[in-house]
Amino acid sequence: GHIVRNWKVRWFVLLQDKLLYYKIEGGKKEPTPKGRILLDGCTITCPCLEYENRPLLIKLKTKTNTDYFLECCSREERDSWALDITGAIHAGHPVQVQELHRMKNSFKLLENISLHHIVKKMCDSSTGIKLTRNLEQGNRYKETFTGSALVDWLISSSFAVSRFEAVTLASMLMEENFIKPVGARSTEATRYSDLSEQFLDDSTALYMFAESNKKNSSSKEEVQFNISELSGTIVKQGFLVKQGHKRKNWKVRRFVLRADPAFLHYYDPTKEEDRPVGGFSLRGCLVSALEDNGVPAGVKGNVQGNLFKIITKNDTHYYIQASSKAERVQWIEAIKPLT
């Protein structure tokens, strides 16, 4: 969404020069498009790595510099859409379209290889890829490896028989968010290059394991909740957008405000289980609206205003975005008496 950065299901129709999207009501698409994306002058990024926990994204930047983020249901579906959209963008260039179809077929090359198995081998302290410190444009990066080093390792470990196959496999590892680019050289390639050139077999392009796949990474601890804190009377509930504490990305959460005892819990709406993914006591908290002019300190990313902040008794800061000023006022007024 452009106003509230939440994710909504839309029915997409690709035409020769535009991408139309429709709302779904009662399992059917509405007759009139909700919006359109003009493809003339568009640039496409796939895979788009701007959201670390969403590896199935396509990003479209229009000629007027409007960004659209589209999430698919599978890697195959994402690649198929990306190739078809790219084909529509380059419809007047048959050579480029022919190259896209060749690339599409080549990505079937290593489908039955387990990427998890490869990453496990990569992380092995004795036989895995060697992690080094690297310096690029004055920035130091720990535990990185170069694109050419990964290609060499994949061939020497018999996961690929040629550099082309190794680059294809490395691209798949990056698409599935097992590895990520760091530094200007590799990051720019993912943003501005064609699909076949987004992973670089290059000794100056740096990569590292994604946060969730680092060696010796401990599994995520489940948040424990006391039964008593979930037994309070529900005062208010609804969907808001919350900034994460670690990655500073924005996610839609269903918030539930309870009294006696006073707690604010938030739930992941994509999960069927009715269990909070976070929450805190409101006793001793401070809640206040944030100015809409500019990005307040502590807030990351592209936000559209209607923000408010809750500071807990132990000085944890929560940044939350409502869909309107009126909704922000309603939540603040509901929370204040419980602090």
pLDDT, position 103: 52
Q: Could you say which of 105, 133, 151 is where a domain stops?
A: 105
Quote the CA–CA distance of 18 and 91 in Å, as a whole number: 12
Quote the CA–CA distance of 266 and 281 in Å, as a whole number: 12
Peptide bond into 94 cis (omega under 30): no
pLDDT, position 137: 57
Does residue 165 carry a pLDDT above 60? yes
- Quick one: average pLDDT of 175-194? 78
- Quick one: average pLDDT of 219-229? 56
Does residue 291 carry a pLDDT above 50? yes
Q: Do 191 and 278 sit in the same domain of this protein? A: no
Does residue 282 carry a pLDDT above 90? yes
Q: Do 194 and 125 sit in the same domain of this protein? A: yes
Any domain includes 325: yes
Q: Do 271 and 332 sit in the same domain of this protein? A: yes
Q: Could you say which of 105, 128, 163 is where a domain stops?
A: 105
Q: Do 241 and 328 sit in the same domain of this protein? A: yes
Any domain includes 175: yes
Q: Which pLDDT band, with edges at 50, 70 and 90, does 338 fall under?
A: very high
- Quick one: average pLDDT of 136-161? 83
| From 116-125, 136-145, 146-155, the region with the lowest mean pLDDT | 136-145
pLDDT, position 217: 39
Q: Do 83 and 145 sit in the same domain of this protein? A: no
* Tens-digit pLDDT profile for residues 292-329: 665 666 676 656 678 899 998 888 889 998 888 899 99
- Comparing C-alpha atoms, which of 264, 260, 258, 312 is closest to residue 285? 312
Q: Which pLDDT band, with edges at 50, 70 and 90, does 224 fall under?
A: low
| Domain around 100 | 10-105
User: Which H/E stretch holds residue 239?
Assistant: strand 233-243
| From 38-47, 100-109, 136-145, 258-267, the region with the lowest mean pLDDT | 100-109
pLDDT, position 109: 42
Any domain includes 4: no
pLDDT, position 93: 59
Beta pairing, strands 139-146 & 132-136: antiparallel
Q: What is the CATH number of the domain that holds 70?
A: 2.30.29.30
Quote the CA–CA distance of 327 and 280 in Å, as a whole number: 21
Q: Could you say which of 86, 105, 124 is where a domain stops?
A: 105
Does residue 59 carry a pLDDT above 60? yes
Contacts of 107 (CB under 8 A, 6+ apart): 79, 168, 172
pLDDT, position 110: 45
Share of the chain above pLDDT 90, in %: 21
Quote the CA–CA distance of 82 and 76 in Å, as a whole number: 10
- Quick one: average pLDDT of 62-91? 84
Quote the CA–CA distance of 13 and 15 in Å, as a whole number: 6
Name the DSSP class of 295: P
Q: Do 239 and 329 sit in the same domain of this protein? A: yes
pLDDT, position 275: 82
Q: Where are the beta strands (DSSP E) in 94-232?
A: 132-136, 139-146, 179-182, 206-209
pLDDT, position 168: 81
- Quick one: average pLDDT of 200-210? 87
